[in-house]
Amino acid sequence: MTTAEAVERAIRARRAIRAFRPDPVDPALLRRLIDLAAQAPSGTNMQPWKLRVIGPQARTRLETALLAALEAGERPGTEEYRYYPERFREPYLSRRRKVGWDLYGLLGVAKGDIEGMKRQTAANLRFFDAPVALMVTIDRDLEIGSWLDLGMFVQNLLIAAQGHGLDSCPQAIFAQFHPVVRRELAIPEDEVVVCGIAIGKADPDAPANRLVPEREPVENFTTWLD
């Protein structure tokens, strides 16, 4: 396999995995993946990303607190940043609805099944039982350019993991529970909780892992200028 083929395979194979096997990830490999991710470009080499690798004790505390908040019907505080538009419009509304109901269809969660949705949210807050749990933050006073740089860091990490035979899932849900995350992981107020990342080996028998979101053809979003 050529270098180009290997890179393309990693990019095309990567997708959000929502159920993991318990197989541990070698800490040396994880460190290597993080180092690879940090080769991402950033404006004037600011390297604005911050990452926490959540060990067993901290993870137990975090997940216990998050699940307690969920059980109490709480989503503590508002999101620290607006991930989605205030009002969805086409074509984004249809894409969002399709991937959501495709996932819930695989999970056997019907429309209006509040308990089923709650179970999936709980799985999300447990990092889908992945052996590696990460939390991504960025300094609060940085601007949108640094957020773009952060996104490239995250993508590098996901692709690097895929290239080394690991699966992953970036998880924005933790931004909704940022007061709990901040308290349990001792994250200072001057950092924004951006997302979590789960890394490990996909459970091949899990229905959720059969989801393959559709991608728009190049012609739908590209303008070729003469």
Question: Which of 3.40.50.1390, 3.40.109.10, 3.30.1300.10, 3.90.1150.10 would CATH assign to domain 13-211?
Answer: 3.40.109.10
Q: Which run of H or of E encompasses 70?
A: helix 56-71
Taking residues 135-159, report their average pLDDT: 98
Which of 115, 143, 221, 133 is closest to 173 using CA atoms? 133
- The pTM assigned to this predicted structure is 0.96
With the CA atoms of 102, 170, 79 and 74 taken in that order, what torsion angle do they form, in degrees rounded to the nearest 10? 70
Distance CA 34, CA 32 (A): 5
Q: Over the stretch 1-33, which tens digit does the pLDDT of each residue have? A: 899 999 999 999 999 999 999 999 999 999 999
Average pLDDT, the chain: 96
Domain locations in the chain?
13-211
20 C-beta neighbours (distance < 10 Å), count: 24
75: pLDDT strictly greater than 70: no
